Amino acid sequence: MNKIVLKVDVVSDVVCPWCIIGYKRLEKAMEMFEEAVTFELHWHPFELNPTMPEGGENLREHLAKKYGTTLEGSIAARKRLTNLGAELGFTFNYYDDMRMYNTFKAHQLLHWAKKYNKQTELQLRLFSAYFGEQKAVDDTEVLLEFATQVGLESEEARVVLDSGLYANEVKNIETQWISQGVRAVPAIILNEQHLISGAQSAAIFKAQIEELVLAVI
């Protein structure tokens, strides 16, 4: 039996905790269909903090300023995310001096990585680098380190970052998704038909995939 091909578009940011949780839940749902469906995964850029200066800002201070998050609220949220991550096999390693970063460079690198079929691998590596390893994902040298770790060529990656080769393309893609109503992430679109907003449960993803599969059979 030939497998059904299902396109999955994921709009996300590498410093968004709910994006990795949403993806891990989606991944669990996709695994349930691995014998019948081939999933074509495409990652798309979204910047939570497009005006953030290089070097970032203390995460707690940033959240307090942007959302009014209290210290108690921050502690509770970090504990909840850490527990959710553990359930899904992902490590959140929050710490007091953790910083929020601008991710425009990271998105340019991810856009380039798609050419070599390394986009998902690099995306997941950057999630782990930021949330689990306390890495500054706005730093060129840090980004180059992880690009090479997933098998991408270091010097070409440096050219991509130093030249801004894909900067306009990334900005245009961000604008396109915003114009289509994506105002928060994760936003996951199945077969260009079903928009699923937020880190929904694996059961919800399963139900939507099942609906699409049954429509094709």
pLDDT of residue 216: 75
pLDDT digits (tens, 9 = 90+) for 3-19: 899 999 999 999 999 99
Q: What is the pTM of this model?
A: 0.95
pLDDT digits (tens, 9 = 90+) for 118-142: 999 999 999 999 999 999 999 999 9
The residues pairing with 5 across neighbouring beta strands, listed in sequence order, are: 38
- Residues 149 and 125 sit within 8 Å (Cβ to Cβ): yes
The continuous run of DSSP H or E covering 8 comes out as: strand 4-12
pLDDT of residue 217: 66
Q: Identify the structural domains of the chain with CATH numbers, from first to last.
A: 4-216 (3.40.30.10)
pLDDT digits (tens, 9 = 90+) for 80-91: 999 999 999 999
pLDDT of residue 1: 61
Q: Give the residue-averaged pLDDT of 50-66.
A: 95
